[in-house]
Amino acid sequence: MKLVIGAAAVAVVVILLILVSGNPSDAKAASPERAPAAVPASSRAAPAPIATDAGKAGKTPDRPAPELSGSTLQRLDEILAEAKVHYNEGVKKRLAGDNSGARACQAEAKKLLDQWENLIQPQLLWQEEAELSGWQQPGSYQQLEHAYVGFASLQKMVRMGGGQ
């Protein structure tokens, strides 16, 4: 008896769903789909690079920002790329069953991430204070903010992968 009631309840739910959603053929007849207009490759906008001179507006800082040069930002990118290589090698080794090799690769990635963080510790502390206080920030700090997102993501993956 319970089986019959359950089957009837399922049938009622299915019928209600069909009635509520309507007939798909009616919807197509009422609003014909348009083909998307082809956009020529020459008119597509290229992704805009991050501006180096545009800073973040805000109050005047209580103390000046520590210097953050383009070469430092480039070095940060290089360190992060190298750490990603070690992380990926560690993942491949772990999938292949080489746990000790994977831990060694993850530890190397962790060392590089620590180096990344130590390289710009004063700038990170100043930027944190600037964000919390609503200070103006130079454009290079906007680039640092974007780089930090990638750093934090990789740092989390390395920690979860055994890089400690």
- Give me the mean pLDDT over the 18-22 stretch: 69
Residue 141 is part of which domain span?
Answer: 70-163
- Give me the mean pLDDT over the 125-129 stretch: 91
Q: Is residue 121 part of a domain?
A: yes
Comparing CA positions, the residue from 137, 133, 157, 151 lying closest to residue 66 is: 137
pLDDT band at 50 (very low <50, low <70, confident <90, very high): very low
Burial letters 54-88, b for 16+ CB under 10 A, else e: ebbeeeebeeebeebeeeebeebeebbeebbebbe
Q: Is residue 149 part of a domain?
A: yes
SS3 136: coil
122's CB contacts (< 8 A; 6+ apart) are 66
Contact in structure between 56 and 141 (CB atoms under 8 Å): yes
Q: Which residue has the higher pLDDT, 60 or 98?
A: 98
Q: Is residue 12 part of a domain?
A: no
Q: Is residue 156 part of a domain?
A: yes
The pLDDT tens digits for 84-124 are 999 999 999 999 999 999 999 999 999 999 999 999 999 99
The proportion of the chain whose per-residue pLDDT surpasses 90, expressed as a percent, equals: 45
Q: Is residue 55 part of a domain?
A: no
pLDDT band at 47 (very low <50, low <70, confident <90, very high): very low
The pLDDT tens digits for 62-92 are 788 889 999 999 999 999 999 999 999 999 9
Overall number of domains in the chain:
1
Predicted confidence at residue 89, as pLDDT, reads 95
